[in-house]
Amino acid sequence: MPYGLDTKDPSVLRSAAKNIKIISDRLDDSPDFQEAQQVISEASNVVFLGFGYDEITLNKLLGNSDLDSKKFYGTSIGLDQDIKIRLQSKFGGNLVLGENPSCRNLLEEISKSVWLFNFTIPLKTPIPERIPRK
């Protein structure tokens, strides 16, 4: 759902609801899901925002991606320690869940260590633009 839309407008909510995907919807046949798999496989940095880390969904999304060649970042609100340990094991230590797990704070953390190009965050207080570190 694009930032700034009226969330009280029933037509906006219906449109957003139509875009919700559930793994039992056979996402692997979905062009959107296939595109997500492709983008992830080609990316060097992957950011999960508000993601539940369901093992089936995660396995399907990551497909045949080489996890060792990527850096993963993600929010972790509500994740218990067992899930965090399982995720660290799966990603071989290439997953940063962030000390402050909200979307905004994670993006601020990431912006300190990696350069995100063409990345716009609709915030009340903008994150300062960063120059890539050499």
Q: Is residue 106 within 8 Å of 49, Cβ to Cβ?
A: yes
Query: What number is the average pLDDT over the span 65-82?
Result: 89
Output the six-digit token pair for 102. 């909200």
Q: Provide the pLDDT confidence category of residue 23 given band limits of 50, 70 and 90.
A: low
Where are any strands of DSSP class E within the chain? 45-48, 71-74, 95-96
Output the six-digit token pair for 75. 């929010």
Sheet with 71-74, side-by-side order of all strands: 45-48, 71-74, 95-96
Give the tens place of pLDDT for each residue, 86-127. Answer: 999 999 889 988 766 577 777 777 777 665 444 444 444 444
